[in-house]
Structure 1
Amino acid sequence: MMGKPTLAARLRAGDSIYSGWIATPEPLIAETAARQAFDCVCVDMQHGLHDPVSVMRSIGGIVHAGKPAGVRVPVGDFAMASRALDMGAEAVIAPMINSVADARALVAATKYPSLGERSWGPARALSLQGIPDAATQLATANDATLAFAMVETKQALDLLDEILAVEGIDGVFMGPSDLSLTLSGGKEVAPAADWMDEPIRRIAARARAHGKIACAFGADPVRARYFTDVGYHFVALGPDAIYLASGIRTMLEGLR
């Protein structure tokens, strides 16, 4: 991947990135998605079925298809955040970052000293990304890899500016389903409700004010376009089960 703009560079330049979202732990699915028009492909360990081995293999398929890979790690699994980067991911998405301490723990796991505490061992990343030596990795990795803190609770929303101010947090990833669940006091999951518009726009605006990247998950193209229109530069579209069902439906409708 050396010589190509990194995912981080494209986002910091203001590009709109649309990412695939793969929950099924089959590397060929991730690779197939990466061979489509997505700008990036993420694999999901939190609500998806991936384990470390399927993540490692999926990242390889994504990168060999010419796209950057992202990984959403399980809640609180900062060790996996480090491993995902060592495996060659360019972005880590950490769910349920509800405090400044959580944000700092994410930075510690994903950035090398002196910014963070990430330990050394990126052999697979060096190979996949064509990084020639350790010195280049140390000089570039903190800028070239992304730590995204998921803001998806009322507590995180209340601390949004403090989380965004943590050095080493590259952006926030808005989880609309969980955010609607907590803002409604557990009464409903309503990611596209009208009353969600204000917090959605606020997150994008505050990220922009801090010079950070606003990210979101869109369940369909209409919602994904809405997020882009209100200031989100990284939008995931999926998951893969929807791709499969939609493709089957389109083919069967063509028969009839």
Structure 2
Amino acid sequence: MTARSRLQSGLDSGAALFGGWVVGPTVLGPEEFATAGYDYVGIDLQHGYLDDADAASMLRRLEHVPIATMVRLPTADPAPIGRVLDAGADAVIIAMVESADEAAAAVAATRYPPAGMRSFGPLRPSLGYVPSDLEERASVFAMVETTRGVSALASICEVPGLSGVYVGPADLAISMGYDPTSAWRRQEVRDVMADIAEAATATGLVAGVHAGTGALGNDAARMGFRVITLASESQALRRGAAAHLAEARAAEPPESHASGGYR
């Protein structure tokens, strides 16, 4: 068994990886993202309607699906981080990291003693039972999404064992005094995002970001981000459903739509 995860293998190519996002219990969303050719799926335990038992079920189901997996958690609490890694997550993304100490705590939650605080208990036999292998395949991303986090960025990027820095544009915009929905339209916010990507890359880390659309994902790749989340399952469903409806209505005879349809 190799200790490298699908996410790590994907990053070896040097190209940007594009991902989908899951915020609610689903057995179809991650598989549909995989079928569509997405590189990874993120499972949201911070803002989503999910707990780590839901995440474990999805991760186990995805064992034989060709897509990498990331799980976002609200804190560096070692217990939930250990559970999702034991269930097979390739990476964890820890929200609202604002200091090197907080980033170090996130890393420690993925490492066994004496280097960290993770308790041994793999739940998926295919992961094996060698602690060093389990540590090696676990990638750790610190979310830098506040001005305080940006101020500490240099020291965060120096934390041993950190795999990458992941930007949350909405919270970053709020901390800078802007509307969260305007993050990608504000040049001031985009400039800070680009600075984060540059700083992470310069220290050998992977820069990640929540884009929200394919067009913004293209922008993010040009800015130097390499792990880029495009849309949640609900966003993808809504966009696809709207496109189907628009096509159907465009094909209707004008009088049928105006009169409410054929009877």
Tell me which moved more, 201-210 or 66-75: 66-75
C-alpha contact 2:92 2:140 (8 A) present in aligned 1: yes
In 2, Cα distance between the equivalents of 1:209 and 1:167?
Answer: 15
Shift of 1:35: 2.7
For the pair 1:188 / 2:179, whether they are aligned, the reply is yes
Partner residue of 1:134 out of 120, 129, 132: 129
In 1, Cα distance between the equivalents of 2:4 and 2:145?
Answer: 32
User: What are the within-5 Å matches in structure 2 for residues 66-77 of structure 1?
Assistant: 66-77=66-77
Aligned residue for 1:9, secondary structure, equals helix
In 1, Cα distance between the equivalents of 2:214 and 2:137?
Answer: 28
Which consecutive residues of structure 1, in runs of 5 or more, have no partner in the other structure?
none
In 2, Cα distance between the equivalents of 1:3 and 1:85?
Answer: 13
User: What are the within-5 Å matches in structure 2 for residues 32-181 of structure 1?
Assistant: 32-124=32-124, 127=125, 130-131=126-127, 133-135=128-130, 138-181=131-174
In 2, Cα distance between the equivalents of 1:222 and 1:247?
Answer: 16
The letter for the 2-side match of 1:221 is G
TM-score (norm 1): 0.90
CA gap of 1:55–1:199, structure 2 versus 1, over 3 A, is: same
C-alpha contact 2:5 2:90 (8 A) present in aligned 1: no
C-alpha contact 1:28 1:58 (8 A) present in aligned 2: no
C-alpha contact 2:77 2:109 (8 A) present in aligned 1: no
In 2, Cα distance between the equivalents of 1:223 and 1:97?
Answer: 24
CA gap of 1:37–1:219, structure 2 versus 1, over 3 A, is: same
Aligned CA RMSD, in angstroms, stands at: 1.9
Q: Which runs of 4+ in 1 moved over 4 A?
A: 1-5
For the pair 1:220 / 2:213, whether they are aligned, the reply is yes
Deviations 1:222-252 (A, max 9, x none): 1111111111010011111111111111111
Q: Could you tell me which residue of structure 1 aligns to residue 241 of structure 2? A: 248
Identity of paired residues, percent? 30
TM-score (norm 2): 0.87
In 2, Cα distance between the equivalents of 1:68 and 1:247?
Answer: 23
In 2, Cα distance between the equivalents of 1:53 and 1:5?
Answer: 21
Aligned residue for 2:46, secondary structure, equals coil
In 2, Cα distance between the equivalents of 1:95 and 1:70?
Answer: 13
Aligned residue for 1:249, secondary structure, equals helix
Deviations 1:89-129 (A, max 9, x none): 001011011112211110111123443221111132xx3xx
Which consecutive residues of structure 2, in runs of 5 or more, have no partner in the other structure?
250-263
In 1, Cα distance between the equivalents of 2:53 and 2:3?
Answer: 28
In 2, Cα distance between the equivalents of 1:139 and 1:74?
Answer: 26
CA gap of 1:213–1:77, structure 2 versus 1, over 3 A, is: same
C-alpha contact 1:97 1:103 (8 A) present in aligned 2: yes
Q: How many residues align?
A: 247
Deviations 1:26-53 (A, max 9, x none): 2332233233211111111111111122
Shift of 1:152: 0.3
C-alpha contact 1:86 1:122 (8 A) present in aligned 2: yes
